[in-house]
Amino acid sequence: GAGVSQSPSNKVTEKGKDVELRCDPISGHTALYWYRQSLGQGLEFLIYFQGNSAPDKSGLPSDRFSAERTGGSVSTLTIQRTQQEDSAVYLCASSKGGSQETQYFGPGTRLLVL
Amino acid sequence: GENVEQHPSTLSVQEGDSAVIKCTYSDSASNYFPWYKQELGKRPQLIIDIRSNVGEKKDQRIAVTLNKTAKHFSLHITETQPEDSAVYFCAATLTGGFKTIFGAGTRLFVKA
């Protein structure tokens, strides 16, 4: 079946603009995660959604970052008033319902803020 | 807060040798420890995982050990091959939750 997909694959924006990143999880996966990976660095947890529960937003770095998941499927990560330090690869992952399930990652969106 | 430390940051071995990567986690409530491999320009992929009720798990050339008392877990790769060259990430997930904290990664080079 189809894996996790993300769009756009690359995004170049100017400082101060808003950007929206999209993630399509694997069909039937109830858990969805967003991570940020800066160049040569590890994966920084941002947020996760699990079913109808309230999302865990504890990893969002500032109030400029927000995410939503509509209909328990597609998720959008929004960064408002982008800053140069927001430049990174944003990875989305999804997994089945349990907390010890394998996370399947998308290809990522490479964001460059000029 | 939760933290996962990973060492070394870079590891270079000769083909056929073993490689060991070590991680330490801070939250004793963690109960699931996956390892992901990320090849250059590609997405991370799970290679092995271990749960807190198990001390060791092996899958062909890859093994993972867990010491809950010390809050320490390790990845062992035997008979390394050039295709093992990649960045390896350890991670810890809290009991009852989904929040997963990743280590900073280990860049493994296997020299032919």
At position A99, the amino acid (one-letter code) is: S
pLDDT value of position B53: 81
Q: B79: distance to nearest CA of chain A, Å?
A: 26
User: Which chain A residues contact residue B54 at CB under 8 A?
Assistant: none
Contacting residues of B for A50, CB less than 8 Å apart? 98
Distance from CA of B14 to the nearest CA of A (A): 23
For A108, the closest of B43, B100, B102 (CB atoms) is B43
Q: Which amino acid is at B112?
A: A
- In this predicted structure, what is the pLDDT of residue B81? 97
Predicted confidence at residue B88, as pLDDT, reads 97
Largest Cα span, chain A: 40
Distance, CA of B103 to CA of B23 (rounded, Å): 7
pLDDT of residue B1: 67
pLDDT, tens digit only, all 114 positions of chain A:
589 999 999 999 999 999 999 999 999 999 999 999 998 788 999 999 988 888 889 899 999 999 999 887 999 999 999 999 999 999 999 999 777 889 999 999 999 999
Return the number of CB contacts < 8 Å for A and B.
57
The parts of chain B modelled with pLDDT lower than 50 are none
Burial code (b: 16+ CB inside 10 Å, e: under 16) for B90-109 equals: bbbbbeeebbbbbbbbbbbe
